[in-house]
Amino acid sequence: MSGFKKTALITGIAGQDGGYLAEFLIRRGYKVHGLIRWDSYVDPQDGLKRLSSLGLTDASMTLHHGDVTDAQSVAALIKQVRPDEIYNLAALSQVGVSFTTPAATLDINTKGTLAILDAIRLLDMERTVRLYQASSSEMFGSAPAPQDEHTPFMPCSPYGVAKLAAYWLVKTYRDAYGLHASNGILFNHESPARGEDFVTRKITKAVAGIEAGSREVLKLGNLDSIRDWGHARDYVEGMWLMLQQDVPDDYVLATGQAHSVREFVERAFEQIGMHIVWSGQGVEETGRDKRTGRLLVSVDASLFRPKDVHHLLGNARKAQDRLNWLPRYYFDDLVADMVNADRVLLWREAGGDSAWKMTG
Ligand code: GDR
């Protein structure tokens, strides 16, 4: 007997959700295995920084080199680990980038999912393993808000199309072969561990830098975009809950509150005691400090996407009713958590101690 309650395999374990999920599962007595792409090992300090910041080391879980686009190695890994639960979080997750690398996006986000589904069948594990697929609100695309499990999908990006194909593969294999496979249709979920190429972290890092005097102006693209932003910590719990159900199904996870990028900027600057006043329109729009008139935010045309999703607002009623899932963090707590974490990070990088005094 190993002493572990269950074994989980997480693809994409080095990402934001992978780290929080690994932490969550280890606390629940799971033996956790993670699939790590080769480039996370080129500079392990950087590639595995999210895991180490959560106190997760090689001793607390087992990491395997591999790639979801290599179907044979995926099957070999599943055969070796024999997991009870697989969480497929590996993805090219930057929607903007998917416009410049659409084929790679489909390879990773669609064929990678197919590799896992086929491996489960090949190994005759349909009845012994449960699969969570990281589906996305981006699949709704231009479908009118609010969106739930019955909303027709209208994806607007190669990323959304690739995730939607993977979603349908999961449903098809579930229906055709009886797999316990569930799609979590997750709306945007953020945290201090979010990559700096996503808008929320880009904003909070810039705000902390402006406060510390190491940054001048924050340049952004589409300020009018509206998103339903939750906290990744809440969402990984929802992933786990989906796999604890007797019957597999698809669930939306969202906060049910939506805010624009512009509002995120305002709230983030409020954390450091600055109030933004907007003027101008389109690429000429600027945000200035109300008190001093200092330029803090400008718009950069190169940061706009060829096509953007305008309004995402999720209805997570089904997850509330059937999984008893409710978020703990809403917009204000999320922004505060992220700005404060970036202030502490900057302070530490500058050699300060942890007794950082918040001024906002
Ligand atoms: P999104 O997240 O595309 O919703 O996908 P992102 O934070 O990248 O963009 C949100 C909105 O902000 C606008 N925006 C900018 N975005 C970025 N990245 N950088 C900018 O400078 C900027 N300025 C404005 C964007 O145009 C967009 O409208 C995220 C990812 O995590 C996906 O993998 C996941 O599936 C979905 O959330 C749910």
Per-residue pLDDT of 31-82, as tens digits, reads 999 999 877 766 666 668 888 888 888 778 999 999 999 999 999 999 999 9
DSSP calls for 337-357: HHHHHHHHHHHHHTT--S-PP
List the Cα angle 16/357/277 in 5-degree steps.
75
**Residue of 133, 161, 188, 194 to mutate, ligand 1, most atoms within 8 A of C-beta:** 188
Q: List C-alpha distances in Å: 89 to 131, 195, 312.
A: 11, 15, 21
Considering just the CA atoms, what is the radius of gyration of the chain in Å? Answer: 21
Query: How far away, in angstroms, is 150 Cα from ligand 1 center?
Result: 24
Higher pLDDT, 250 or 39: 250
CB of 227 closer than 6 angstroms to any ligand 1 atom: yes
CB of 113 closer than 6 angstroms to any ligand 1 atom: no
CB of 254 closer than 6 angstroms to any ligand 1 atom: no
- Quick: pLDDT tens for 100-134: 999 999 999 999 999 999 999 999 999 999 999 99
Give the sign of the dihedral formed by CA 300, CA 304, CA 309, CA 315.
negative
Sheet with 85-88, strands from edge to edge, namely 62-65, 30-36, 6-11, 85-88, 130-136, 180-186, 251-253
- Confirm if 295 and 234 have CB atoms less than 8 A apart: no
pTM, two decimal places: 0.95
Beta bridge partners of 13: none
pLDDT greater than 60 at residue 357: no
Strands 226-227 and 251-253: unpaired
User: Angle 232-243/16-27 helices, nearest 10 degrees?
Assistant: 60
Q: Give the amino acid at 319.
A: A
133, two tokens: 């697929």
CB of 204 closer than 6 angstroms to any ligand 1 atom: no
Closest ligand 1 atom number to CA of residue 93:
33
Q: Give the amino acid at 31.
A: K
- Quick: pLDDT tens for 259-277: 999 999 999 999 999 999 9
How long is the chain?
Answer: 360
Give me the chain's average pLDDT, please: 94
- Confirm if 34 and 18 have CB atoms less than 8 A apart: yes
Closest ligand 1 atom number to CA of residue 219:
21
CB of 199 closer than 6 angstroms to any ligand 1 atom: yes
**CB-side neighbour CA atoms (13 Å) of 297:** 33
SS (H, E, C) 85-101: EEEECCCCCCHHHHCCC
Q: What is the pLDDT of residue 355?
A: 46
Residue 68 DSSP symbol: T
Q: Whose CA is nearest to atom 36 of ligand 1?
A: 188
Closest ligand 1 atom number to CA of residue 312:
4
209, two tokens: 């830098």
pLDDT greater than 90 at residue 335: yes
Query: How far away, in angstroms, is 175 Cα from ligand 1 center?
Result: 32
**Residue of 140, 200, 227, 255 to mutate, ligand 1, most atoms within 8 A of C-beta:** 227
Beta bridge partners of 218: 297
Section 11-37 average pLDDT: 96
CB of 106 closer than 6 angstroms to any ligand 1 atom: no
- Confirm if 104 and 60 have CB atoms less than 8 A apart: no
Query: How far away, in angstroms, is 95 Cα from ligand 1 center?
Result: 7
Higher pLDDT, 43 or 354: 43
Section 212-218 average pLDDT: 95
Q: What is the pLDDT of residue 356?
A: 43
- Confirm if 149 and 155 have CB atoms less than 8 A apart: no
Section 156-172 average pLDDT: 98
- Quick: pLDDT tens for 131-147: 999 999 999 999 999 99
- What are the chain's domains? 7-190+229-253 (3.40.50.720), 199-226+259-311+330-349 (3.90.25.10)
Query: How far away, in angstroms, is 48 Cα from ligand 1 center?
Result: 23
Strands 62-65 and 259-260: unpaired
Query: How far away, in angstroms, is 146 Cα from ligand 1 center?
Result: 18
Q: Whose CA is nearest to atom 26 of ligand 1?
A: 222
C-alpha closest to that of 250 among 319, 349, 346: 319
CB of 342 closer than 6 angstroms to any ligand 1 atom: no
